[in-house]
A and B are shown apart, each in its own frame.
Chain A
Amino acid sequence: MTNHHATAEILSEPLSLQRRALSALMMGLTYLLFLVAIIPLGSLLYTIVSQGLPRFSWNVFFHIPAPIGEAGLIDGFGNAIQGSLMVLAVACIISIPVGLLAAIYMAEFGRNSKTAHVIRFVTQVLSAVPSVVVGVFAYGVIVFTPAIEIGGVLLKPKGFSAVAAGVALAVLMVPIIALTAEESLKLVANAQRLGSMALGGSRFQTTFKVVIPQSMAGITTGVLLALSRAAGETAPLLFTAFFTQNWPTGFDHPTPTLPVLIYNFSQSAYTSQNEMAWTAAMVLVALVLLASLVSRLAVRKSFR
């Protein structure tokens, strides 16, 4: 009887001080560390805006960097924005079809096959190859080798070019597009495919008329995600696109890009260029965040 009584007393006691202290300590530590994780982002966004805004005007989109020491010229980095768009266009033309077709193979035509598993694994590995190594690869394949010309059409230029940079970025974009597109294709219910087949649709028709239209949001997300990742890439551009202070003169010539401009200006000895690096960073971050925000909202809408 006394034994029973003692148990009841223990059960009605509050938790021991030690156990409560552990909870409180861990809770405090967790919030503190979380704060530490958030501080860099806050500091980063604050610095970008406070340092970038003073030099910002719409002129930066339409003018090239003013030569050092020449007063009265309007400063800008329109050439780098144009060059970035050119490089990204090349990257998209290559990576979107390749990434989508690879995804269609993994999710539809080669579904559950051994090859599809291997390709998925290789795609994951490819997505983790350092971008600087991809840049070195593009340098070796395109910048360093002789030009290829067939019937007067330049297929591959020699030397630094927007094409070489586009190929490097495409290699970085393909795995992102392929993996996200595959995920969204797989979300389409199998009954839909069977329904299409039952009505006499071929696999081709089923894929393009039934499956892809339903996963458009997911596919768009993947492309935007890849694009926002590629837009900020710098390392592979250093030795593929290189840089110029002037407007880009064609896809087969050295091309200025926004990230490389930020890098070059950050290393400059002139304060005016250092300040311009922040303005360029502000424009780049705004573009990249916009793309990733849109893609995230698209995900939320389609996947619920």
Chain B
Amino acid sequence: MAHSATHPEDHLLTVSENPRSNLLDRGFTVLVQGVALLVIAILLGITAVVLAYAQPAIAHFGLAFLWSTAWDVPSLQFGALPYIFGTLVTSSVGLILALPISMAVAILTSENFLPAFVREPLAFLVQLLAAIPSVVIGLWGIYVLIPFLLPIGTWLNNNFGWFPLFSTPPAGPGLLPAGVILAVMIIPTIASVSRDVLTVVPKELRSASMALGATQWETILAVMLPAAAPGVVGASMLGLGRALGETMAVSMVIGNSGQITASLLDLGNTIPSLLASQFAEAESPLHIGSLMYLALILFVLTLMVNVAAVLLVRVFGVKV
């Protein structure tokens, strides 16, 4: 934190008397500033390019694109709803599964239940998962996760088939495997940010709670977690942002069938996964435009979630 505070000596750093080096300094300052502004330009550029290419579809379908369910390439009928639905459902399933697990990881690696020489490697192990490319996780999803979930899905359908979420027999790929794989992928994010947030909760809060006679777990549940709650929400939203945009792993296990269904055991599709499977082959401007329109929706969605997340986590002074 200390380095981000304004230093009283800072103004001295701008003084440079030597005229020759002054010129070099000025030139370099302009260059550095220009490049830094380029970062803003890239973000604006992404917005502009996606918007421009989406124009044919925006002009043709308008806002009705958002709630239309048609996706027929030969007859050029396009609608986003099944893909928005799939994206939101898989991300929510992922988040719901990942949150308790991530909290367990965050608590276990920030409290002193285990000695530091065990805690640190365990935290590292969880983070290792974040380094594995998503296409490899997708491969694992096809050959390990789907066969593992299939009997569970069958059992759920046999015994709880009356419940809408399990109302169809499992097809193998589908919304549930996609949700589970997203949970696996966002646990490292949520766990590490939550852990950082938990470690910066003021020590006095913990001491006060313990002094009043609370056990360690009562302190965690009644003091630490409530104090860290905004940061944990921020961490979850960072995870959600990742889940919304995740492409390959989801595309490989979701079955790529754009439909709206109550059953998690049924096939589905998401915006990123549709982009991955159709973009390279799209030819008509309306088809490309519709895909770009979807990319725009995804972009806006993730932008909102991530801006909120960064602002929430920043309250704690934790770097994302």
Contacts and interface: CB of A to CB of B under 8 A. Distances in A.
Instruction: With a 10 A CB-CB cut-off, give which of A106, A121, A266 has the most chain B CB atoms.
Output: A266
For the residues of B in contact with A, the DSSP-based class is helix
A27 B40 contact: no
B49 interface: yes
Given A26-B217, A129-B302, A141 B45 contact: yes
Contact of A130 (B40, B52, B244): B244
A128 B35 contact: no
A136 B279 contact: yes
Interface residues of B, number: 99
A98 B307 contact: no
A203 B29 contact: yes
B233 interface: no
A106 B36 contact: yes
B117 interface: no
Given A23-B217, A26-B221, A128-B241, A133 B133 contact: no
A193 B3 CA distance: 13
A292 interface: yes
A204 B102 CA distance: 45
A84 to B, nearest CB: 11
B133 A101 contact: no
A51 B49 CA distance: 42
A171 interface: yes
Contacts, number: 286
Interface in A83-128: 97-98, 101-102, 104-106, 108-112, 115-116, 118-119, 121-126, 128
B250 to A, nearest CB: 10
B135 A238 contact: no
Given A19-B215, A140-B49, A37 B38 contact: no
A1 to B, nearest CB: 24
Interface string B145-170: 00000000000000000000000000
A10 B12 CA distance: 65
Interface in B103-132: 103-105, 107-108, 113, 122, 124-126, 128-129, 131-132
A12 interface: no
Contacts of A38: 122, 125-126
B212 interface: no
Nearest to B319: A183
Given A235-B275, A238-B276, A263-B135, 4 more contacts: A26-B217, A41-B125, A109-B32, A111-B13
Interface of A: 15, 19, 22-23, 26-27, 29-34, 36-38, 40-41, 43-44, 47-48, 51, 97-98, 101-102, 104-106, 108-112, 115-116, 118-119, 121-126, 128-137, 139-141, 144, 171, 174-175, 178, 183, 186-187, 190, 193-194, 197, 200, 202-206, 228, 231-235, 238-239, 242, 259, 262-263, 266-267, 277-278, 281, 284-285, 288-289, 292, 296
Interface of B: 3-4, 6-7, 9-10, 12-16, 18, 21-22, 24-25, 28-29, 31-33, 35-40, 42-43, 45-46, 49-50, 52-53, 100-105, 107-108, 113, 122, 124-126, 128-129, 131-140, 142-144, 184, 187, 191, 215-218, 220-221, 238, 241-242, 244-248, 252, 272, 275-276, 279-280, 291-292, 295, 298-299, 302-303, 306-307, 309-310, 319-320
